[in-house]
Structure 1
Amino acid sequence: MSKLPELTTLCYIEKEDKYLMMHRVKKEKDINKDKYIGVGGHFEYGESPDECLLREVKEETGLTLIKYKPRGIVTFIYGDENQPDERVVEYMYLYTSTEFEGEIIECDEGNLEWIDKADVYNLPIWEGDKIFFRLLEEREDYFSLKLVYSESGELISSEVI
């Protein structure tokens, strides 16, 4: 019997041509260890995507989003290709935000840093993240992206729908 998919949000907060990113260096058992990612996380039971987004951003950054925009949904599949029922499937709701209030707090999951958008591709990020960063730059419309990773974390395939 296959597992239920994971539901998550991810937000890239923007200011002065920079993204607020989290360098995931504080947890030992972390699939994102040493990588840079946006802020967000797993849904709590009964939450809508927007409720999850607002709660996770507040918990991780201390910021309250005033204005945000849903940009797409990213379907991640990762794990052993020979055991399809054991692979992890995650649906990630992707947002951007340009208006927020509050002061950035210390985060127990990683270090928060403002990164120039032009430098993002040179950071240690997932290969698939480069695809959705490009889509965020090139498109205003809502997109759907499917990323399939091997058990070792190698991007096997990607498809924009």
Structure 2
Amino acid sequence: MPNQYKNQIEVTIRAVICKDDEILVCKYREKDYCFFPGGHLEFGEKADEALIREMKEEAGLELTNCNFIGALENFFIEDDEDHHEIILAFEGSVYDGKLESLEDHLDFFWKDTNELVKGNILPLALSRAIIKWLEDKKPFWESQIN
């Protein structure tokens, strides 16, 4: 599938949703790594509203109390294509309910927050920033560009 964002900076939004000592993550079924749920910001869309939309579309979850917590500039290569993205991270809450994926290619699950340090939740710089944010609740800006 061609990359519609080739040679463009992608703006993505990610949710940090904690429940007790767990954090919500998702995983592409054909990949080995996890990431924080969310998606791409569409033109003319407010970032927090985009995240609420993405959570509803992908997991059927009603995201509330959506507050900006930080941002990350990230460069990565996936499927032999270069990507440059700005990630806007938001904390949020979801009501208890059945956690299920509405997307054929994604799984959602709760992971112990201690798993963040193990490095299998990408991007690593975002995981590290969220670990620090969970401790001090200070907004963050990170850059992971080589």
Bin for the TM-score computed over the shorter chain: 0.7 to 0.9
CA distance in structure 2 between the aligned counterparts of 1:112 and 1:87, rounded to whole angstroms: 26
Gaps of 5+ in 1: 27-32, 80-85, 149-155, 157-161
The worse-fitting range, judged by mean Cα deviation, of 13-22 and 119-128 is 119-128
Q: What residue in structure 2 maps to residue 92 of structure 1?
A: 87
CA distance in structure 1 between the aligned counterparts of 2:114 and 2:17, rounded to whole angstroms: 15
Correspondent of 1:114 among 81, 88, 110: 110
Q: What residue in structure 1 maps to residue 42 of structure 2?
A: 44
Q: What residue in structure 1 maps to residue 16 of structure 2?
A: 12
Q: What residue in structure 1 maps to residue 3 of structure 2?
A: none
**Preserved contact between residue 68 and residue 99 of structure 1 (Cα < 8 Å):** no
Q: Secondary structure at the residue paired with 2:25?
A: strand
Q: How many pairs are equivalent?
A: 136
* Superposed displacement of residue 90, structure 1: 0.8
**Preserved contact between residue 15 and residue 51 of structure 2 (Cα < 8 Å):** yes
What's the TM-score, normalizing by structure 1?
0.72
* Superposed displacement of residue 58, structure 1: 0.9
Q: Secondary structure at the residue paired with 2:99?
A: coil
Correspondent of 2:71 among 70, 73, 79: 73
CA distance in structure 2 between the aligned counterparts of 1:130 and 1:53, rounded to whole angstroms: 18
Q: Secondary structure at the residue paired with 1:88?
A: strand
Q: Secondary structure at the residue paired with 1:129?
A: helix
Q: Which AA in structure 2 matches 1:94?
A: A
Percentage of matched positions with identical amino acids: 25
- Offset from partner CA, 1:93-130 (integer Å, 9 cap, x none): 00122343654232423211111111232362233233
Distance 1:107 1:122, change over 3 A: farther
How well do the aligned residues superpose, as a CA RMSD in angstroms?
2.3
Distance 1:77 1:101, change over 3 A: same
Distance 1:4 1:68, change over 3 A: same
- Offset from partner CA, 1:54-112 (integer Å, 9 cap, x none): 11111121111121221101111235xxxxxx953211100122343654232423211
Q: What residue in structure 2 maps to residue 83 of structure 1?
A: none
Q: What residue in structure 2 maps to residue 64 of structure 1?
A: 62
**Preserved contact between residue 9 and residue 42 of structure 1 (Cα < 8 Å):** yes
Q: What residue in structure 2 maps to residue 140 of structure 1?
A: 137
What's the TM-score, normalizing by structure 2?
0.79
